[in-house]
């Protein structure tokens, strides 16, 4: 089974600066995708960060994004937990149990970037993002 449990931080339009700062602090490789890479030209907020991931030499993984268009950034309640990997069966099981009795913000289904992804707030108020990585290369 391949799966990782990672902190995921939401920012108010300054995710790029924050994640570059964390890269300077911890070292490692930083990957960044903007909303504009997946939206029609001229979309407001296209330069904002949809997803970023810092993988450090120590094995740390830190993810972050700007709050999606139309979503409120809530300082103090801006960290989610992300579980990602390629073990479809295990990750689906986690999703089913975490979302049961909670609030689903993004249904667990294939997304525009190719992965199966869902986001929910569990019955205890913790926000979870579950991502089954598309390893097909398609």
Nearest residue to 127 (alpha-carbon basis) of 108, 109, 101, 102: 102
Distances (CA, A) of 26 to 9, 31, 65, 103, 115: 16, 14, 18, 34, 27
Tokens of 105: 């913000």
Residue for token digits 């330069």? 47
Q: What is the CATH number of domain 3-132?
A: 3.10.180.10
pTM of the model: 0.69
d(CA 111, CA 122): 21
d(CA 95, CA 8): 17
Write out the chain's pLDDT in tens, 138 residues.
Answer: 577 788 888 888 899 999 998 999 889 999 999 988 887 787 788 899 999 999 988 888 999 999 877 777 777 677 888 888 898 998 899 899 889 999 999 999 999 888 999 999 888 777 889 999 887 765
Cβ–Cβ under 8 Å, residues 54 and 62? yes
d(CA 21, CA 102): 34
Pairing type for strands 79-85 and 127-132 reads: parallel
């Amino acid at each position: 089974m391949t799966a990782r449990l990672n902190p995921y931080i939401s920012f108010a339009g300054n995710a790029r600066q924050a994640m570059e700062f964390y890269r300077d602090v911890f070292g490692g490789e930083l990957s960044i995708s903007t909303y504009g890479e997946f939206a029609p030209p001229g979309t407001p907020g296209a330069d904002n960060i949809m997803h970023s991931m810092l993988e450090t030499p120590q094995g740390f993984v830190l993810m972050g994004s700007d709050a999606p268009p139309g979503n409120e950034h809530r300082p103090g309640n801006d960290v989610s937990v992300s579980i990602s990997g390629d073990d479809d069966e295990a990750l689906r099981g986690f999703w089913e149990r975490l979302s049961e009795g909670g609030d689903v913000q993004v249904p667990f289904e294939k997304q525009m970037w190719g992965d199966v992804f869902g986001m929910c707030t569990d019955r205890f108020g913790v926000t979870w993002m579950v991502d089954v990585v598309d390893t097909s290369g398609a």
